[in-house]
Amino acid sequence: MKKFLLIAILFLAACGGSADPTAVPQPTEEIAAAPEITAEPTDTAVPQAAPTEASAVNTLVPEPATATAPPTAASDTDAEPAATEDAEETAVPETEPTETAVATTEAATAPEPTSETTAEPTTASQPPAVDPGEVPPVISNEYPDNNDKSGWENRINVPAGFDVTYLGRVEGHPTSMDFGPDGLLYISNQEGSIFTMDSSGNVSTFASGYNTPTGIAFRPGTGQLYVADRLKNENVGGESQISIVGQGQLIGGLPCCYTFLHAANGIAFGPDGMGYVGVGARADHGEILDGSGRQDELHPLEASILRFNPDTGEVSVYARGLRNPYDIAWDANGTLWATDNAPDYGPPEEVHRIVPGAEHGYPWYDCDTCFSPPPGVEVLPPTYTFVPHSSPTGITVYKASQFPSNYYNNKFVALWSAF
């Protein structure tokens, strides 16, 4: 039997294939609250972890004995994540910084999209994806108690040959997770902490003092954990940032926080060794938030995927037009994928194959109060869509070998189902 690990009951839907969850702590650290950023670079850091007396042994992720290089690859709505299972897919197809860097409006270095770059990605070096069969629908809408492990295991439906096992649970609302070089699973929660979970489901607090961390990722070949969270959690005029645990702020001044949900979100490191982060828009569909219905002047870094230097914090725009790209992931062909939360008027939710330099939709939508793109601007359609308001959040690409070969390079998406 193929096995899934389940943490905090995450439920996944596969794009271009089918399968399900993953899931499931040691060192203890406390961090000082994030300082407000200024217009100039500063050395003041956000999370500076300090071990407590009750701490376990490690106070920070250890440097691995042998650094592993970043992976190489051939080229080829709105929500804080939580458990759900109501949504249904409606469509198929597919180091150390010396100073704090303030986000700049530097022009993108990504190439202009061409017919070549907008073509469908080439297939991975594994058998093509096939549909392994339908998953039976959930019978009851009543949720088991949090401590009812077997109740949750039995509620989650997976294809034949797969099995779901409850591994563990963290307090609060989990938002992002990544495996560290020490083999532990690191989990951030909406309440501002980062936990570790071991293979037996034991949980420890690793760091705390953040303001709604929504993205965490280890830089390959290092023990550095990068965190995306908020500095100023305000609906208008908010700010988000990227920091490194134990070292402080790397990038400040990023757009935030429409409906207190859009901000700097999921982080992923690319085949080029650079960091990438999705940043949400400051409005629902590009309007000014004063009730006038006028179109807002876009912030240079909002509604985009940003590329950043993990040492210096230098930022450029990799792709635009994503209303709230909650999570991003690289596939085996070196292509970046992003989930995107659609506007409140109810169009389908989206997953995009990201084309460098291209416009992927925001703020140009088809509704009575929406805006049309300027002449000469080509807007790329989504690669996959889901039912309205299912709010796709987490995304991961399966690149291991334990599942059947037809699952290789498939995208797995978590749906939050906000309303």
Integer Cα distance of 282 and 289 in angstroms: 9
pLDDT: which is higher, 243 or 142: 243
H/E segment holding residue 239: strand 238-244
CA angle 227, 302, 272 (to 5 degrees): 55
DSSP-derived secondary structure for 261-295: T-SEEEEEE-TTS-EEEEE--SSSSSB-TTTT-PB
Average pLDDT over residues 242-264: 89
Residue pair 385/87 in contact by the 8 Å Cβ criterion: no
User: What is the model's pLDDT at position 128?
Assistant: 41
The pLDDT of residue 51 is above 60: no
Only one residue has tokens 């000014």, namely 288
Of the two residues 139 and 127, the one the predictor is more confident about is 139
Residue 41 lies in a domain: no
243 versus 46: the higher-pLDDT residue is 243
CB 173 within 8 A of CB 165: no
DSSP 388-418: TT--EEEEEE--SSSS-GGGTT-EEEEE---
pTM for the structure as a whole: 0.70
Determine, yes or no, domain membership for 305.
yes
Q: Residues 299-310: pLDDT tens digits? A: 899 999 999 999
How would residue 47 be classed by pLDDT, with cut points 50, 70 and 90? very low
Is cis: bond before 15, omega within 30 of 0? no
Three-state DSSP at 151 gives: helix
pLDDT in tens, 53-72: 333 333 333 333 333 333 33
- CATH number of the structural domain spanning residue 407: 2.120.10.30
Number of domains present in the structure of the chain: 1
Out of 148-152, 163-167, 235-239, give the one with best mean pLDDT. Answer: 163-167
User: For all residues of the chain together, what is the average pLDDT?
Assistant: 75
Cα gap 298→282, rounded to integer Å: 8
pLDDT digits (tens, 9 = 90+) for 186-231: 999 999 999 999 999 999 999 999 999 999 999 999 999 999 998 8
pLDDT digits (tens, 9 = 90+) for 401-412: 999 999 999 999
The predicted structure's pLDDT at residue 23? 34
343 assigned to some structural domain:
yes
Domain that holds residue 233: 209-415
DSSP state of 152: H
- Asked if the structure places residue 307 within a domain, the reply is yes
Give whole-number Cα distances, 417 to 8, 16, 22, 205, 395, in Å: 16, 20, 19, 28, 15
Spatial CA neighbour of 20 closest among 141, 160, 139: 160
> Most confidently modeled of 30-44, 105-119, 135-149, 320-334?
320-334
Give the pLDDT confidence score for residue 134 in this predicted structure: 52
The pLDDT tens digits of the residues spanning 92-103 come to 334 444 344 545
Is residue 398 included in any domain, yes or no? yes
Chain center to CA of 332: 18
Is there a domain that residue 240 lies in?
yes
Q: Please name which of 54, 67, 63 lies closest in space to residue 28, comparing C-alpha atoms.
A: 54
Name residue 339's beta-bridge partners.
351
Nearest-10 Cα torsion for 15, 20, 25, 31: 30
Q: How confident is the model at residue 346 (pLDDT cuts 50, 70, 90)?
A: confident
DSSP-derived letter for residue 154 is H
Q: Which helix (H) or strand (E) holds 101?
A: strand 101-102
- d(C-alpha 355, C-alpha 159), whole Å: 32
